[in-house]
Amino acid sequence: MPREHSTPPPFEPQWLDRSLDRYLGVGLIFMALLIVGFVTYTVREPDLRATAKTDQETQYRDVGNQLFNTSCSSCHGKGAVGGSAPTLNAKEFLKATSDSQVASLISTGVPGSDMPAWGLEHGGTLTDQQVNEIVAYIRSLEPSAPSIPTWRKGTSGK
Q: What is the DSSP string of 116-146?
A: ---BGGGT-SB-HHHHHHHHHHHHHTGGGPP
Q: Beta partners for 119?
A: 126
Distances (CA, A) of 78 to 3, 71, 96, 112, 115: 107, 11, 21, 24, 16
* Interatomic CA distance for residues 70 and 62, integer angstroms: 13
Alpha-carbon distance of 135 to 89, in angstroms, equals: 12
Give residue limits of the domains in the chain: 58-153
Q: How far is CA 112 from CA 92, 96, 115, 116, in A?
A: 22, 21, 8, 10
pTM of the predicted structure, to 2 decimals: 0.71
CA dihedral 103, 105, 107, 108 (to 10 degrees): 150
Segments of the chain with pLDDT less than 50: 158
CATH of 58-153, one of 3.40.50.11710, 1.10.3720.10, 1.10.760.10, 1.10.260.40: 1.10.760.10
The answer to whether 61 and 140 are in contact (CB under 8 A) is yes
- Report pLDDT for 153: 87
Phi and psi at 119, nearest 5°, equal: -75, 140
Q: What is the pLDDT of residue 74?
A: 93
Looking at residue 85, its pLDDT comes to 93
